[in-house]
Structure 1
Amino acid sequence: MAERSNEMRALVCVEPDRIEIRRAPRPEDRPGHIRLKVEAIGICGTDYHIYKGQQPYLSYPRTMGHELAARAMEDSSDGRIARGDLVVVNPYMTCGTCHACTIGKPNCCENIGVLGVHRDGGMCEEIVIPEGNAYPATDLEPRAAAMVEFLAIGAHGVRRSRLAEGSTALIVGAGPIGAGAALFAQIAGAKVTVRDTSAERLALVQNILPDATCETVDEAGDQSFDTVFDATGNINAMNAGLKFVAHGGAYVLLSVVKGDLNFADPEFHKRETTLIASRNALKADFEHVVDCLARGLVPIDAFATHRTTLDDAVTDLPKWSEDRGSVVKALIHV
């Protein structure tokens, strides 16, 4: 048997507008951690931002990738995961001791570190992560498991909104996060409308959710909705969204951007608006998404519009970063 190399391949963003395959040391074993063989990686908007030099608080070079499906290379110490099991990776590394962690909200840990952003991520052959950040996904195929993390962000926002079955929901922003939020709002029983400035993006969402109403911003009327979700990543759109919230409704902000929220207080108060920030996702959200995928409630083919390999991503990722209007979710298969 050939001796196992101490090095592995990794897709590294060396600096803005430059990515390459490099040889990197295989990660070392650590107590309480599990070694995983990466099988599929979803390319996130964050990865495109890193490539284009638009991600603050990031140092280069950086191995990107936080939407990960991987195969366990060993048994977990708690018996949840056996060698060979497919798992979904929760990429949010938390401290476990801050106020948010102690009240059951590690998704907004005060000292959070995200794989592929604050530390090297999973666009490589192997990773070693805390056992508690690996969730079994044995009923899924790798490409479905690699979509769990970004879908969980929308699912978390929907769960926080507490929208009622039969209510109306507006999702503004037809990117992957918006599409995921729209899907899980529909799964929760809401009547869904999706708006965007791009007819091309809306056509992709209509393919995912044929029963949803999809309309451009220019086509939109003055209808109000029980719950409005913003997934635009645009501070002007976030400030304008309040006018679509029905009296007694909720406004959920999935986007995180630099800038100030500005609402007219009389408009905010007369609606008795519930304003909700939604950040990342919790284990319960990951598990809900895995269950919905396993039950066939997520149209995987409609979401997975593009695919590539670790080697070909050197040219494909830059190309897709310039043409994101035609991409819902691109996947790297290792």
Structure 2
Amino acid sequence: MRAVSCTAPGDLVVVEREAPRPAADEVLVRIRRVGICGTDMHIFQGKHPFLEYPRVMGHELSGEVVSAPAGSPLSEGERVYINPYIACGTCHACRKGRPNCCMRIGVLGVHRDGGLAEFLALPARNVFSAEAIGLDEAAMVEFLAIGAHGVRRAEIQPGDRVLVVGAGPIGLGAMLFARLAGGEVTTLDLRADRLAFARSALGIPHTVPAGEGAASALADLTGGDFFDVVIDATGNTASIEASFAYVAHCGTYVLLSVVKDVIRFADPEFHKREMKLVASRNALAVDFETVLAAMARGDVPTGLLATHRAPLADLPARMPDWIRPETGVIKALVEV
């Protein structure tokens, strides 16, 4: 089978390798779509801290069943989406029902080879029917589930003022599900094109340019109270630290993004506001199901989110363009 391997930072190569042979408890999937995300771009640029090269990237996946274990509800030819978080099932987090933060987690395309290939063999518990939606949509379930998980962790109530900092794909997912939860959503970002997309594609009413004057603009929008929920999706240390100031008294701050640095904040302000600080990692099955249901209802503008696409063999030539901000990529899909 063909696959695309990142052999070193900046180097993608189409390779031939043996097709996988599924174990007794595995589903063999013919991969059809692969979403390219910020993680893949960081791997390509040599910026990912937990990776060894060469690596077949790709964890936003959809495909069709080639074979399934005896007793599986899946049938040959069925469209599927994939949960790319391969959990051990036995550690403390798994025993608590939280495989998203498994102590020995293996993420497809990061800790082990992923889906930029024609076939993939996966544990049956990680493969789910996507017959209610199309292949493009199924490949977008995972990144949207990350936003849905963060929104669920935030416990947003109808009428809550919600600020999403960072209007990339993960931030857009958070905006979408915060709005579906009844939140009044504002977004903050440095890029005018991303703010314009949030307005036009998701109908976000308030979009604020980051930088000088942002704090005043956010104060004006809220009468000086700021936001019941702030969700960071920037992956930027300075932005994460600055956004503590945008959380209202008795508000919640959710960190969707992760950075390698130590995060610092003023403890007197934190305590004065009785602020809740929440980490959000990956997603759980309920979050994938939330996204699938929203897609089936037509609540997700997937046709607008998928801005770029290319066949598998063209990815080595297209990836350098897709990582440039001026290209305007929201979600790029690889067709296999």
Q: State the TM-score bracket (shorter-chain normalisation).
A: over 0.9
Taking the TM superposition and a 5 Å limit, the aligned residue runs for 1:104-123 are 104-123=97-116
Q: 1:191 aligns with which of 165, 179, 184?
A: 184
1:84 aligns to 2:77 (yes or no): yes
* Residues in 1 aligned to 2:70 and 2:207: alpha-carbon distance in whole angstroms: 47
Q: 2:146 aligns with which of 147, 153, 160?
A: 153
Q: 1:50 aligns with which of 43, 52, 73?
A: 43
Q: Which amino acid in the other structure matches residue 20 of structure 2?
A: P
Q: 1:60 aligns with which of 27, 49, 53?
A: 53
Q: Which amino acid in the other structure matches residue 33 of structure 1?
A: E
**Does the 8 A contact of 2:22 with 2:122 survive in 1?**
no
The Cα of 1:10 is off from its aligned counterpart by: 0.1
1:182 aligns to 2:180 (yes or no): no
Q: 1:274 aligns with which of 276, 289, 297?
A: 276
Q: TM-score, normalised by structure 1?
A: 0.96
* Residues in 2 aligned to 1:324 and 1:115: alpha-carbon distance in whole angstroms: 28
* Residues in 2 aligned to 1:111 and 1:92: alpha-carbon distance in whole angstroms: 10
After superposition, the C-alpha distances for 1:207-227 in whole angstroms (9 at most, x for unaligned) are 221243112024532240000
1:165 aligns to 2:158 (yes or no): yes
CA RMSD of aligned residues (A): 1.2
* Residues in 1 aligned to 2:58 and 2:86: alpha-carbon distance in whole angstroms: 14
The Cα of 1:234 is off from its aligned counterpart by: 0.4
**Does the 8 A contact of 1:207 with 1:302 survive in 2?**
no
Taking the TM superposition and a 5 Å limit, the aligned residue runs for 1:210-289 are 210-218=203-211, 219-220=213-214, 221=217, 222=219, 223=222, 224-289=226-291
1:23 aligns to 2:23 (yes or no): no
* Residues in 1 aligned to 2:266 and 2:120: alpha-carbon distance in whole angstroms: 48
The Cα of 1:76 is off from its aligned counterpart by: 4.2
Q: TM-score, normalised by structure 2?
A: 0.95
Q: 1:166 to 1:78 in 2, by over 3 A?
A: farther
* Residues in 2 aligned to 1:204 and 1:13: alpha-carbon distance in whole angstroms: 30
SS in 2 for 1:183: helix
After superposition, the C-alpha distances for 1:209-255 in whole angstroms (9 at most, x for unaligned) are 12431120245322400000000100111111111111111000001
Q: Percent identity?
A: 48
SS in 2 for 1:163: coil
Q: Which amino acid in the other structure matches residue 13 of structure 2?
A: E
Q: 2:199 aligns with which of 193, 203, 206?
A: 206
Q: 1:321 to 1:80 in 2, by over 3 A?
A: same
**Does the 8 A contact of 2:198 with 2:204 survive in 1?**
no
Q: What 5-or-longer segments of structure 2 have no aligned partner?
A: none
* Residues in 2 aligned to 1:100 and 1:109: alpha-carbon distance in whole angstroms: 5
Q: 1:60 to 1:324 in 2, by over 3 A?
A: farther
Equivalent residue, structure 1, for 2:2: 9
* Residues in 2 aligned to 1:105 and 1:302: alpha-carbon distance in whole angstroms: 32
SS in 2 for 1:63: coil
Taking the TM superposition and a 5 Å limit, the aligned residue runs for 1:289-300 are 289-300=291-302
The Cα of 1:42 is off from its aligned counterpart by: 0.2
**Does the 8 A contact of 1:308 with 1:316 survive in 2?**
yes
Q: 1:129 aligns with which of 104, 110, 122?
A: 122
SS in 1 for 2:17: strand
